[in-house]
Structure 1
Amino acid sequence: MTDFVIAGPRHALPPQLSLLRRIYLPRTADAGAFAMSTYGIPLIVLATTQSATLTGIAFALEWLPRLAAFSLAGQVVDRHGTKRVFRIASVLRALVVVAAAFILPTQAGGTGATITVMALAAITGVVTEFSYIAAETAGATASKDAGDRAHRVQSVLLGIDQTATLAGPAFAGFLLHAVGVTGTLLTMAACSLLGALLAPWHRESRLVPPPAPALAGLRTGWKTLVSIPALAWLITGLTVSNMATGVLQAAAPVIVVQHLGQSSAAVGLIWSAAAAASLLAVALCRFAIDRLGLWPAGAASAAVAALAGLAVSQAGDYTSFLVLTAVLMAGEGGMTVVLRTLRSHLIPEPVFGATLAVTILAMLTPFPLAGIVVALTPAAALGHVLTACAGLQAAGLACAFWRLRREPAMRSPRTTQPGAATTP
């Protein structure tokens, strides 16, 4: 039997803060820093090195360290609590970005500047995942407390993320043009520090597992995931789907600039439009779950994503490419609401961080693979690769939701707690 210890004063009564103060405001600041770093750092790499190849490598460097950090991040959150991990990760990200802001002006291009921006991409990728896992775990706890209204909490959280994604590409591009690399990096650092300041400062009183090797968190998360069939099937379908989404994201600059003859600003417009469509889909999915349940809402979102994925690979002009990409991401947004609602109910709280890390690790693994595929594919053949990935996406989502149609947890907004549902 696993022993547990109490974190925080035994008789301490933490202040009763609203969801806005303890969850939504810190998440908003962190999402802003996340979006600006994800979309802004590749632009900074391009502006610093003037190399499309190095920009692609930076994309991989952002994702690979994130994947490596997931299992450790989940275990650290379970052990030390969401607030402490969130605050430390936010401060570390700010320090790294500020350091790069002062180092880069002293390097007039060349190898030194290249090493600096590549290290910036890798390090911010790692610390960002710690803050993300902490924020997701805190949001899931709030969802559990909300009971039948859990999907409403998750809709707000996803709306915050999508709003940041909507503003992030355009704002990062504007800052880079208006105030340069240093001003852009200092703005990213300010968002990170704001998130650290907004996080509640009272200590958490909770049960936590004793220290264990890093791989133990990965094993714990994996065992929990496979013990929850509904969640495992949904993660499988979304992982397959993310391969198509990742290839589309990695290939979009080449397709838009080289094939469709548009500017690099047009690439940012696509993702801003996609984020706006996702926001609308999140709102619609919330009402659909209220009235129809998780499975109908998720299946409809999956159908939209699959059909749009097949169509976007055949788009012959910029407008069609933009609209179809937005529709695809709208479908992804709807499925994400379903996923977040399901996992917030079904994953036991003591191992939520470790299990969340495993689910995100599985779902994000296709992104660096997609970057490698795009790097190895001739530009003229990218359309064929997109078509193949879209077919795989449609097949994966169809299999997953066909299997999920009989899962009790998918039939209504209220799902069963895992202790009652999965224990023999």
Structure 2
Amino acid sequence: MTGYRGRRFLFGTGVLAGLLAEQLVLFAVPLLIYQETGKVSTLGTSFALEWLPALMAYPFAGLLADRDGGTRLFSRANTARSVVLVCTLVLCVAMPSWTVGLLMANGALLATVMPAVRMSVEKVVPQLAQGDDLPRTQALFQNMELLATALGPGLAVVAATALGKLWLLALAAALFATGAACWLGLPRLKPAASGGTDVRAIFGDLGLGFRLLVTNRPVVLLAGLNFIINLAFATMLSANAAVVTGELDAPESGFALLNTLVGIAGMANLALTPRLVRRFGLSPLGAAGYATQCVALLVLGFASSFAVYAAAFVVGMVGVAYFNVYNRTERVKIIPGEHLGKVMGPFFLLGLSSYPIGGLLTGTLGPVIGPQRLVAALAVLLAAVGVIAVPLTIRSFRRALAEKERAEATASTAATAAEAAAAADPAAAAPVASAAPAAPVASAAPVTEAAPAASVPADDGPPGGATVSEAPTASGAPTAPEAVAESRDPQEPGESRHSHDSHDSPDRKENSRDRAPRQHAPVPTGGTTGGGEDLP
């Protein structure tokens, strides 16, 4: 399978197998811990401990994805997850009294490896899809996650009935290994040039990623939205098993049914989302997804029956899916392709740092005021933040994209003029060609300080650092040098290709409409991982 369809099949099958394995673990581990201890506080503490090492790993995972290209890193990370699960299962069978501690350690180890998987996918998706295909591919990946939640819990219930919940870890290990094997069949994508393997070079690349993030205003605003969304959902998810089987007195199959319903909704979204993007555009879809999450979390906080709770849970996760289509598509357009990995590592670190905070809130305030009331309070906070932050983020992205298009147009005009001059006067071709592109570069904003040259993964923190210019405007839009760099190698896999998006793209249409009277840009009325960003 070397053709485009074959590569997409291997890509999709590998991702789906890994997501199914995650669903099995998410079903088995919280129930096992809650049954062993009977305490909501233990669930919250376990959730927080799992996410702390993951946060530390994200920036480094971005560098690894940049230097590897993504495909090989995905296979190695999933192989490591399979080995961790097998070791945990063997130890739990040998020493049953250690089960809770072993499961907590297992969660921490799996979470440490998980960033490498996420960053590999973030790196590879933009390299498989260009132009109009990018939003559709992002929507496809987002809804594959929901599809896994439909199949995973049902598989978990059947397997748990036949084997027992502990042995679900063995099935999950097999699925992780399957995912790793699928991506071995993918061609290794071109990695970015390495900035070196010594400690100074690595931390130099990390520093470059953080600098590129903080100078890119739209992406910083988006990371802030991801933080607040993930805080609310982390609190809800960390207490989910206790609320469903404890406060609402639903059976374990009800806990699995929640995710199954979410997956069914995801399959419907698979066909619906591209149509919604074409009809309404990305920004309204993202704003509607944010508002949907706020309403659903508020209902979850006051639900007194499992039926109401389940309906609100499904609606909330559908809102997450809609917001993440906007979330994932827009940031890829703004972040320079060669620095995607470097920037996405710190981006995930910021957006997901609320996960352990959510777990700690569940462990401390959950037993005092109740986990549902805590979720309701966070839903109100989410809505209050979104009323201001969502319109601000959308306008900031529109300004940045408009600036990028103007810079690309300037670079294209300069290149055309140089070619025309070369054709008219072949003797002067060399000097004219070298001088023509200099105008947009010279007029650009001050150049951001960069580390030694290195490659960068899509949406991940890139390891090296070609010089990047950031316009000193509120939008943080990339300036002409980036556009020039893109235009020099428009079809290179792994490099930024956003300048080649089709003019029929819904996003391009939206941007062109906003370019003149920006004050007329649609402003969402609602409020928005793993997640916001991107709920893993």
| Alpha-carbon distance change, 223 to 36 in structure 1, aligned in 2, over 3 angstroms | farther
Aligned residue identity for 2:55: L
User: What's 1:393 paired with?
Assistant: 382
Is the 8 Å Cα contact of residues 30 and 191 (structure 1) preserved in structure 2?
Answer: yes
User: What's 2:298 paired with?
Assistant: 310
Output the CA distance in 2 between the equivalents of 1:398 and 1:123: 38
Aligned residue identity for 2:103: V
Aligned residue identity for 2:392: R
Post-superposition offset of 1:154: 0.6
| Alpha-carbon distance change, 216 to 395 in structure 1, aligned in 2, over 3 angstroms | farther
User: What's 1:7 paired with?
Assistant: none
1:422 corresponds to which of 457, 475, 478: 478
- Residue-by-residue CA offset, 1:168-220 (whole Å, 9 max, x unaligned): 23323432332125631221111111111111354443432313645444433
Q: Name the % identity.
A: 24
Output the CA distance in 1 between the equivalents of 2:222 and 2:125: 20
Give the SS at the match of 1:316: coil
Aligned residue identity for 1:67: L
- Residue-by-residue CA offset, 1:246-293 (whole Å, 9 max, x unaligned): 222123333333332323332332233234334444643322221222
Aligned residue identity for 2:296: A
Is the 8 Å Cα contact of residues 150 and 261 (structure 2) preserved in structure 1?
Answer: yes
Give the SS at the match of 1:271: helix
Is the 8 Å Cα contact of residues 218 and 400 (structure 2) preserved in structure 1?
Answer: no
Is the 8 Å Cα contact of residues 62 and 344 (structure 2) preserved in structure 1?
Answer: yes
- Determine whether 1:37 maps to 2:25: yes
| Alpha-carbon distance change, 124 to 408 in structure 1, aligned in 2, over 3 angstroms | closer
Post-superposition offset of 1:98: 1.6
1:169 corresponds to which of 138, 153, 158: 153
Q: Gapped runs of 5+ residues in structure 2?
A: 409-467, 471-476, 481-536
Aligned residue identity for 1:192: F
Output the CA distance in 1 between the equivalents of 2:15 and 2:105: 25
Post-superposition offset of 1:114: 3.5
Post-superposition offset of 1:351: 2.1
Give the SS at the match of 2:479: coil
1:335 corresponds to which of 319, 323, 331: 323
Aligned residue identity for 1:194: T
User: What's 2:126 paired with?
Assistant: 140
Give the SS at the match of 1:147: coil
Output the CA distance in 2 between the equivalents of 1:251 and 1:42: 9
Aligned residue identity for 2:377: A
User: What's 2:392 paired with?
Assistant: 403
Give the SS at the match of 2:304: coil
Is the 8 Å Cα contact of residues 67 and 191 (structure 2) preserved in structure 1?
Answer: no
Is the 8 Å Cα contact of residues 278 and 326 (structure 1) preserved in structure 2?
Answer: no
- Determine whether 1:346 maps to 2:402: no
- Determine whether 1:258 maps to 2:258: no
Output the CA distance in 1 between the equivalents of 2:368 and 2:160: 28
Matches within 5 A, 1:20-419: 20-46=8-34, 49-52=36-39, 54-107=42-95, 109-110=96-97, 112-143=98-129, 146-181=130-165, 183-199=167-183, 200=185, 202-211=187-196, 213=199, 214-281=202-269, 283-377=271-365, 378=367, 380-407=369-396, 409=398
Is the 8 Å Cα contact of residues 63 and 205 (structure 2) preserved in structure 1?
Answer: yes
Give the SS at the match of 1:211: coil
Is the 8 Å Cα contact of residues 74 and 217 (structure 1) preserved in structure 2?
Answer: no
| Alpha-carbon distance change, 282 to 391 in structure 1, aligned in 2, over 3 angstroms | farther
Output the CA distance in 2 between the equivalents of 1:54 and 1:316: 23
Aligned residue identity for 2:171: T
Give the SS at the match of 2:303: coil
Aligned residue identity for 2:192: L
Is the 8 Å Cα contact of residues 34 and 242 (structure 2) preserved in structure 1?
Answer: no
Give the SS at the match of 1:124: helix
Note the aligned Cα RMSD (angstroms). Answer: 2.9
Is the 8 Å Cα contact of residues 143 and 321 (structure 2) preserved in structure 1?
Answer: no
Of structures 1 and 2, the larger Rg is shown by 2
Q: Gapped runs of 5+ residues in structure 1?
A: 1-13
Give the SS at the match of 1:208: coil
Aligned residue identity for 1:305: Q
User: What's 1:8 paired with?
Assistant: none
Q: When the two structures are superposed, what TM-score results if normalisation uses the length of structure 1?
A: 0.85
Post-superposition offset of 1:56: 3.9
| Alpha-carbon distance change, 38 to 133 in structure 1, aligned in 2, over 3 angstroms | farther
| Alpha-carbon distance change, 409 to 117 in structure 1, aligned in 2, over 3 angstroms | same
| Alpha-carbon distance change, 128 to 202 in structure 1, aligned in 2, over 3 angstroms | same
Output the CA distance in 2 between the equivalents of 1:346 and 1:167: 35
Aligned residue identity for 1:371: G
Post-superposition offset of 1:411: 11
Output the CA distance in 2 between the equivalents of 1:180 and 1:261: 21
Output the CA distance in 1 between the equivalents of 2:94 and 2:305: 42
Give the SS at the match of 2:212: helix
Post-superposition offset of 1:236: 1.5
Structure whose residues are more often helix by fraction: 1
Post-superposition offset of 1:241: 1.8
| Alpha-carbon distance change, 406 to 258 in structure 1, aligned in 2, over 3 angstroms | same
Give the SS at the match of 2:161: helix
Output the CA distance in 2 between the equivalents of 1:332 and 1:372: 22
Name which of structure 1's ranges 389-398 and 177-186 shifts more when overlaid on structure 2: 177-186
| Alpha-carbon distance change, 128 to 113 in structure 1, aligned in 2, over 3 angstroms | same
Is the 8 Å Cα contact of residues 342 and 409 (structure 1) preserved in structure 2?
Answer: no
- Residue-by-residue CA offset, 1:27-50 (whole Å, 9 max, x unaligned): 122222233233333334446x45
| Alpha-carbon distance change, 361 to 173 in structure 1, aligned in 2, over 3 angstroms | farther
User: What's 1:4 paired with?
Assistant: none
Output the CA distance in 2 between the equivalents of 1:186 and 1:340: 32
Is the 8 Å Cα contact of residues 31 and 241 (structure 2) preserved in structure 1?
Answer: no
Output the CA distance in 2 between the equivalents of 1:124 and 1:405: 34
Give the SS at the match of 2:131: helix
Aligned residue identity for 1:156: L
